Amino acid sequence: MKVDRINVEKFIDNGIDLYNSEKFVDAMGFFEKVLEMDPNHLLALVSKGKTLLKLEKYRDALVCFRKALEIDPEFEEAKKYRDITLREMYSPYESEFPCRENIYL
């Protein structure tokens, strides 16, 4: 399938603008459209993950960051937000021994 790079970039830009305006649900739609066209688009994966993080959907966010790191293990932004997500999931305010099912670093 040929990816329309112009539309991909427009969707990314629109999603980022909405994210920056704190319209997270609307932003998510644009990132998901990009991922429909290009499932391995690193910026869309990380942007979707960051949006899910803002929506406190930590496990879903973690899936996005992990997928980005499978594609590019050195992608620093994905590493940074994966770590932030894990800290949010297991903050010091939770139990001393949180359930860590299906959590792989």
Structural domain count, the chain: 1
How many CB atoms lie under 10 A from the CB of residue 10?
14
Alpha-carbon distances of 69 from 7, 78, 96, rounded to whole Å: 24, 6, 28
Domain membership flag for residue 62: yes
Give the integer Cα–Cα distance in Å for 76 and 91: 22
* 38: in domain: yes
The pLDDT tens digits of the residues spanning 35-73 come to: 999 999 999 999 999 999 999 999 999 999 999 999 999
CATH number of domain containing 84 = 1.25.40.10
Note down the domain range covering 11: 5-89
Judge whether 94 lies within some domain: no
Record the pTM.
0.83
Residue 11 placed within a domain: yes
Q: What is the pLDDT of residues 82-105, one digit of tens each?
A: 999 999 988 755 544 455 444 444
